[in-house]
Structure 1
Amino acid sequence: MSATANTELVRRMYEANGDADVINELVSPDLAWDVTPGFPHGGVYHGSEGVFEYFGKLMPQVDSWETEVEEYHPSGEDRVFVVGHYHPTKNGKSTAVRFIHEWTVRDGKLTRMYQAADSAVAQQAVNG
């Protein structure tokens, strides 16, 4: 796929806002969803089931969780970097948590999401 097509695939993932049908369509069965150690529920999750497992653990701890993408940066033939902020809200207080995601695309599917994020701020927002 081209860098533009890869970027659009990644963009669709964010725009899905948790829609299971879209996530199942975009994600490879062997997806590695790699959440930064120290981040709430950090670890590696696999496939769309892993994505749902991760958010199933995270969402009960907050009132809401918004993801604001600020920039998409295609890199080479199979990677897209995404820069933005998470906005978890708990007990009426919203926090901005900076992140960068590195996505790998293979055969028109998302095969890896590697997250680097401000774990300390995220933990305070979720567990504060």
Structure 2
Amino acid sequence: MSELETYYADLIGAVGRQDLASIQGLIDPSFVIHYDTSLPFGGVYYGVEGFFDFLGQLTGHLEDLKTEQLNYMEDANGEQYTLIIKLTARVAATGQQIETQVSELWTVRDGKAVEARAWYWGAAAIEWGTSAV
């Protein structure tokens, strides 16, 4: 397993366990994550606090969230990886059951994420409704 694959496994494991201290150790203070602004949790989030804010927004809008990794690739210089994830969930505001694919691009330096970008395929077709979050 490469260093980036190990990083990804560590981050996913820490998020799944809600291990805030481990997550904090994997996210650079200058971290920035970009989500399409058409999503109810879209926008740009900064730093460790921004990562936690994003996670709160995501789980506030999507319930019973499950993911399955479909593809993983990394660049030769060992700083970026990209993956495609199958995401299934229920939209909290509407009850709509969804299945979509998410493409993510992560940049990791010195064992910490410095940037991430995510795209939800077919997001415009999802009935997001109005959320109380």
Query: TM bucket by the smaller chain?
Result: 0.7 to 0.9
The answer as to whether partners of 2:33 and 2:45 remain within 8 angstroms in 1 is yes
1:35 is matched with which residue? 35
- Structure 2: any 5+ residue segments left out of the alignment? none
1:127 is matched with which residue? 129
- What's the C-alpha RMSD, in Å, of the aligned pairs? 2.2
Deviations 1:60-112 (A, max 9, x none): 33332223222211113211011112222247653212111001011111111
- The separation in 1 between residues aligned to 2:68 and 2:40, in whole angstroms, is 18
- The separation in 1 between residues aligned to 2:19 and 2:99, in whole angstroms, is 23
Structure 1 residues 15, 120: CA separation in 2 closer, same or farther (over 3 Å shift)? farther
- Structure 1: any 5+ residue segments left out of the alignment? none
Q: Which deviates the most, 85-94 or 14-23? A: 85-94
Provide runs of 4+ in structure 1 moved above 6 Å. Answer: none
Q: Which has the higher helix share?
A: 1
2:107 is matched with which residue? 104
- The separation in 2 between residues aligned to 1:63 and 1:84, in whole angstroms, is 17
- The separation in 2 between residues aligned to 1:100 and 1:39, in whole angstroms, is 14
Percent identity, please: 23
- The separation in 1 between residues aligned to 2:80 and 2:89, in whole angstroms, is 27
* TM-score scaled by length of structure 1: 0.82
Could you tell me which of 4, 7, 32 is aligned with 1:6?
A: 4
Q: Which deviates the most, 84-93 or 70-79? A: 84-93
1:66 is matched with which residue? 66
* TM-score scaled by length of structure 2: 0.79
SS of match in other structure, 2:2: helix
1:94 is matched with which residue? 97
SS of match in other structure, 1:98: strand
Paired residue total: 124
The answer as to whether partners of 2:41 and 2:61 remain within 8 angstroms in 1 is no
Letter in 2 for 1:120: A
Structure 1 residues 4, 39: CA separation in 2 closer, same or farther (over 3 Å shift)? same
**Cα distance, 1:44 vs. partner?**
0.8
- The separation in 2 between residues aligned to 1:111 and 1:39, in whole angstroms, is 22
